[in-house]
Amino acid sequence: MPVDLQALYPKLINLMLDTIFVVDRDNQIVFVSDACEVLLGYGADELTGTSITDYMHPDDLAITRASIIRVMNGQPHIDFRNRYIRKDGGIVHILWAAFWSEDVGARIGVARDVTALRQVEAELRFLAHHDPLTALTNRSLFNERLDSALRAARRHKNTLALLFLDINDFKGINDVHGHAAGDRVLCVIARRLEACVRETDTVARMGGDEFTVLLTDIQSEDTVLEKVEQILAVMAAPLGAEFGGIKMPSCSIGVAYYPADGEDADTLLSHADGDMYRIKRHRSAAN
Whether cis (ω within 30° of 0) applies to the bond prior to 132 is no
Strands 77-85 and 91-101 turn out to be antiparallel
| Set 113, 166, 201, 209: catalytic member | 209
Strand partners, 93: 83
Is position 201 annotated as part of the catalytic site? Answer: no
Beta strands in the chain (DSSP E): 19-24, 29-32, 77-85, 91-101, 106-113, 160-167, 202-207, 210-215, 251-258
First to last CA, the chain: 96
CB atoms within 10 A of CB 67: 19
**DSSP H or E segment with residue 283:** helix 265-286
Active site residues: 209
